[in-house]
Structure 1
């Protein structure tokens, strides 16, 4: 034991156990909240496994169309309940025999059973950085509503308490806030009024929401959205504006919560709201039997239900995984600071033991479930354990290389913060450059590298912001009462219900139990993805469908065909001009190109209209003949073999193939055999069949494509959720989101990021050209002005 954390004789002796837990809790009805959470799930498992004569009543919130009972049945189908469920015939039978379900939520608590004996409240917002109003609604108002419901259930019609409940509140050891040194198992001394803080937290939520809706803020957010999504259309921009508004509200409320918490002496709004929740318990539980259990950082189980049992990533786990992947070059923790980790089964066992005690009415008992006092593990020790583990079990990347392990020197917070500041500025410059770079393989590679770097920087920033003070911890939690409770366990309960954290061998736990438990599932998942290949499920093997029920929609330029509207215009225009005319036309196009590019970035429809003005004076009939006789080989030469193969696969499967393009109709004539439907730009002509340079209708770009798809689907009974779409540009985002199987083909940076965010397939289709890029069709005098 570390001398600095030596424990003396307990100043307070808690109520002790005087028999087997299964006997002490036999015939008792235990009401639980948070049963679908990490700790709650194992508490229920423990009750069903070790307390055969105890009835569990679980408060569960319905989720969408899934009822509370259905959620509990799904819970009981999880692996840890398999043996229990099999013994009685299944999950539903286990529910019927041992568990009652209450449908409700916090703070909307339903009527509780009037014969309840114990209430375990372990539901709550466990995020370290929730919005301040959300934190108080869950951890303060939720606790208040539950205790008021308990009082009603245990009172007669006149409101007199006729049955004294035992209320067991699961809090956190870090309600101690920014204190240092030894933290006793007692109520924390402060004069903060939970009623005032709750009222102000809710008011802050309303205030920030109102601020987000001011004209100035909406204009700022709209302009940000337009810079990214203007090409795609106004509705896409509007959707993104609202997303940004909601994110701004959340960020401001998180910031407000953090600052309010720290101004009062807590590390974050989570611990602040939890501390206020404890005050609610003490205030409203003056005539209850009350136990408050304060776990430290709960991680995977040591023994039960099996070593390494865990669900989800907890506080330390992303750090461990990032280090193993070679993504964490340094860490701003104090090497001799203790990270107070406690195995989940120790916490659960302590909670069950507390349920079996008989606290004095109106005198809350406090229990710390922690390791820092009796069995501390420092950050340097953790680093050494995980480094040794990954040296023995290296993390292999998808390309087969082994991730290098960094050597941490623990430089402190300031050097790491300076690195983040410099790296963040460099990342911003790189991101702006890549957004303006020409589309291509190397641009996409650069964008992916920047995105990876950005995630790593965000990860470090988040940990510095959320856990900075935990990384420099200078406190430890006295656990004398918890140990006294443990030592009063009946000898026959010592194995099943042990929670003496001084018995944990950290090297064994970190290297043989915890680290494998969080890394092995990730390794298996990534190995499965590698076996499946890089394509995600949206580029799936095609199955036959009833004809006319599924669409396969293709963009043209950059997707099916390796060309663009400027190039095809020059194909049509230049061969019909004299040498001098060609030079003049090329010069005019080159001079106009910057304007075209600017228009394309602002509004693709405007760009297309500007480009198609140059067709003015061409005779439509001669242009069509010229395309059929001279340009067709050039068009077909630029078609991607992979695209052609995919189109044929769709046709063989009975899908309706559609070409949706902003290219003018005559240029699509060589493709008519490939598609069942072609929607293209229609050039307007005068009474003599001469192109005016205008279109008969707006170009089919951006949201126009998604609108056309929905209308066509409605008219023809198409199932868009089973349909496919292929495109290469961020401007096609609305079309791609309209179908169930979107595929990004050689995407630009904007679409690449959207595809990765949404899990869409990204494929590369290339044309195998036999005609040189700069070769033109034969001279065609008939198309000249």
Structure 2
């Protein structure tokens, strides 16, 4: 009874405070069973001061946005060791210079420091030659490894190969074994406050309904997937490669092509065998399971973004790099190459701007530093602010009508109202009628003309087969019926101070999807990505 009265008196006192976020933090400290927050009196920006961070995958799309935000808001951050796959330090340094320091993304940081920009970046970003897939030293030479281990406070693992049809050895090496190596490396860091492991919400792509922020599970022959099963999969990869190399007699280029084809097929086979639609989400799920099983009492956050797209606001709207999942459709449509889309009625596509993901990453490492639990955050929009597929398509139509693309000859491309096929069956029938049959007719004509159109027939057939292959790979995502719960992410947001909320915004309810696509995302695509 006395402890209950004590708790009530604390809550009554806190209710008088103006800062409701502090009230929430202390309330959940008493009643949710969470461990004590690292330092409730320190804001996120202050927390970053003097922290040394190891970033794995820092030269990727999300990694750059993460780095930019930290360097812009906290110039007194410690060293940011950035793991780079390169042959030597000079090559790693050149890659950092080209892909980070000279990136348009960092122009606000450059404006802040002007003539001192290069010096500032050189002081903060330390290139480290390594490879997350090699070993539990991350491929880092001993002298550098010891220095990093002794200094590092935070490890952020962003490393990933995201191709749906990737070689199994490559995908397993980065997404699966890489997670194991990262955990083992973190155990060598005596001052580690937290590991942030960035995964994907689509590790649960086969499920329907509301998908909770819980650990992912998988059974293999009645056993839980663990390090021994990963070793078995790696053994299968090695055996397959050795058999191919021992029997191959073709030229090196042809051997490599055959090997790549077999590794991609093996990845697809193993993924489907265990219930995943492609090797990417399969190996990312493996990575999560390894982190969960091997962390011990290490403080860990698993962050699961959905489909990451261009910046909503920071450091400026619309920045983008590389073709993401939806972007080839928008660019192809605007340039007149695509007129047909595939989607069910009322389909929800879970998209999240990249700057919101980076902000959530930073807030989560602040909130959970020094805790011994595992926390999972899904950075998603499908529950709180769903984006309906037709909204994006409609915004694309209106944008390209008002801002038409031009051909190389300077002619404006006139877009038509998109034709949307509402099932995979209708898509297959459409492709057969308008593509496969004409291709076969060309083949028949080629035979009559003594093979004059034989090469053209092969090119078109290859293109058709590629489109159908991609359609099958993307089908589980195009027609995905699940929604990603983001309750933990909401709690994280609500627990921030007013000041932190102004700096680290990731409240998805504030996104206006029509405005985002029409005024931000599509213009950004055309500026930064379009070919």
| Superimposed CA distance per residue, residues 240-268 of structure 1 (whole angstroms, 9 cap, x where no aligned partner) | xx434433332332222223222322222
Check if 1:427 corresponds to 2:463.
no
- Which residue among 149, 152, 162 is the counterpart of 1:116? 152
User: Offset of 1:449 from its aligned partner?
Assistant: 10
Q: How does 1:230-241 map to 2 (within 5 A)?
A: 238=251
**Partner residue in 2 for 1:354:** 364
Higher-Rg member (1/2): 1
**Structure 1: distance between partners of 2:437 and 2:41:** 63
Aligned partner of 1:98 in structure 2 is 124
Taking the aligned partners of 1:61 and 1:42, their CA distance within structure 2 comes to: 19
- What displacement does 1:287 show? 1.9
Q: Is the 8 A contact 1:76 1:82 kept in 2?
A: no
- Hey, what's the Cα distance between the residues in 2 that align with 1:348 and 1:93? 25
Out of 85, 90, 96, the residue aligned to residue 72 of structure 1 is 96
Q: 1:514 maps to what in 2?
A: 521
* Distance across 2 between alignment mates of 1:415 and 1:251: 29
In structure 1, the partner of 2:321 is 311
Structure 2: unaligned runs, 5 residues or longer: 1-27
CA distance in 2, matches of 1:23, 1:54: 9
In 1, distance between residues paired with 2:419 and 2:495?
Answer: 43
Distance 1:81 1:329, change over 3 A: closer
Instruction: Give the alignment partner of residue 274 of structure 1, picking from 271, 284, 296.
Output: 284
Q: Cα distance 1:100–1:401, how it changes in 2: closer, same or farther (>3 A)?
A: closer
**TM-fit CA distance, 1:117:** 1.2
- Between 1 and 2, higher relative CO (CA 8 Å, sep ≥ 6) is seen in 2
Tell me, yes or no, if structure 1 residue 30 matches structure 2 residue 66: no
Is this contact kept in 2: 1:133–1:201, CA < 8 A?
no
Q: What is the DSSP-based 3-state SS (H/G/I as helix, E as strand, rest coil) of the residue aligned with 1:67?
A: helix
Instruction: State the Cα distance separating 1:447 from its structure 2 match.
Output: 7.1
1:336-355 alignment to 2 at 5 Å? 336-355=346-365
Q: Secondary structure at the match of 1:120?
A: strand
Q: Is it true that 1:206 corresponds to 2:238 in the alignment?
A: yes
Partner residue in 1 for 2:13: none
Counterpart check, 1:467 vs 2:474: yes
Cα distance in 1, alignment partners of residues 65 and 129 from structure 2? 20
Is 1:20 paired with 2:54?
A: no
Is the 2:387–2:513 Cα contact (8 Å) retained in structure 1?
A: yes
Shift of 1:462: 4.1
**Residue 295, structure 1, aligned to residue 331, structure 2:** no
Name the CA distance, whole Å, in 1 between partners of 2:465 and 2:456: 15
Q: Is the 8 A contact 1:397 1:403 kept in 2?
A: no
The partner residue of 2:64 within 19, 36, 41 is 41
Q: Counterpart of 1:337 in 2: which secondary structure?
A: coil
Looking at structure 2, the residues matched to 447 and 405 of structure 1 have their Cα atoms a distance apart, in angstroms, of: 32
**Aligned residues of 2:323 and 2:529 also touching (Cα < 8 A):** no
Q: Summarize the alignment of residues 143-154 of structure 1 with structure 2, pairs less than 5 Å apart.
A: 143-154=179-190
Partner of 2:73: 50
Distance 1:436 1:83 in 2: 64
Q: What's the counterpart of residue 377 of structure 1?
A: 387
Alpha-carbon separation, structure 2, partners of 1:276 and 1:411: 33
- Give the alignment of 1:579-658 within 5 angstroms: none
Specify the SS of the correspondent of 1:105: coil
1:448-459 counterparts in 2 under 5 A?
451=459, 457=464
Question: How far has the Cα of 1:374 moved from its partner?
Answer: 0.6
Alignment-derived partner of residue 283 in structure 1: 293
Does structure 1 retain, via aligned residues, the 8 Å contact 2:62–2:354? Answer: yes
RMSD: 3.0
SS at match of 1:342: strand
CA contact under 8 A between 1:427 and 1:450: conserved in structure 2?
no
| Secondary structure in 2 matching 1:382 | helix
Q: 2:504 matched to which residue of 1?
A: 497
2:201 corresponds in structure 1 to 173
SS in 2 for 1:339: coil
What CA deviation, in whole Å up to 9, does each residue of 1:644-687 have, x standing for no partner? Answer: xxxxxxxxxxxxxxxxxxxxxxxxxxxxxxxxxxxxxxxxxxxx
Distance 2:106 2:257 in 1: 38
Q: Secondary structure at the match of 2:429?
A: helix
Structure 1's 200 and 302: CA in aligned 2 closer, same or farther, altered over 3 A? same
State the partner residue of 1:84.
109
Distance 1:244 1:335 in 2: 45
Partners of 1:14 and 1:365 within 8 A in 2: no
Q: CA separation in 2, counterparts of 1:483 and 1:337?
A: 24
Q: What is the CA–CA distance in structure 1 between the aligned matches of 2:123 and 2:336, rounded to whole Å?
A: 49
Deviation, structure 1 residue 91:
5.1
Superposition deviation, residue 34 in structure 1: 0.7
Output the CA distance in 2 between the equivalents of 1:435 and 1:92: 63
> Cα 1:208–1:84, aligned 2, differ >3 Å: closer, same or farther?
same
* Cα distance change of structure 1 residues 324 and 449 upon mapping to structure 2, 3 Å threshold: farther
* Alpha-carbon shift at residue 313 of structure 1 (Å): 0.8
Q: CA offsets, 1:709-764, max 9 Å, x none?
A: xxxxxxxxxxxxxxxxxxxxxxxxxxxxxxxxxxxxxxxxxxxxxxxxxxxxxxxx
* Unmatched segments (≥5 aa) in structure 1: 1-9, 155-162, 223-237, 526-785
Q: 1:13 to 1:275 in 2, by over 3 A?
A: farther
Q: Aligned equivalents of 2:34 and 2:93: distance in 1?
A: 37
CA contact (8 A) 2:154 2:192 kept: no
Superposition deviation, residue 457 in structure 1: 3.2
TM-score by length of structure 1 reads 0.57
Distance 2:462 2:88 in 1: 32
Structure 2 CA distance for aligned equivalents of residues 62 and 30 of structure 1: 20
Structure 1 residues 105 and 210: CA distance shift in structure 2, 3 A:
closer
Q: Are residues 1:416 and 2:427 paired?
A: yes
Alignment match, 1:185: 213
CA distance, structure 2, for counterparts of residue 522 and residue 176 of structure 1: 29
Answer whether contact 1:167 1:289 (CA < 8 A) is retained. Answer: yes
TM-score with structure 2 setting the length: 0.82
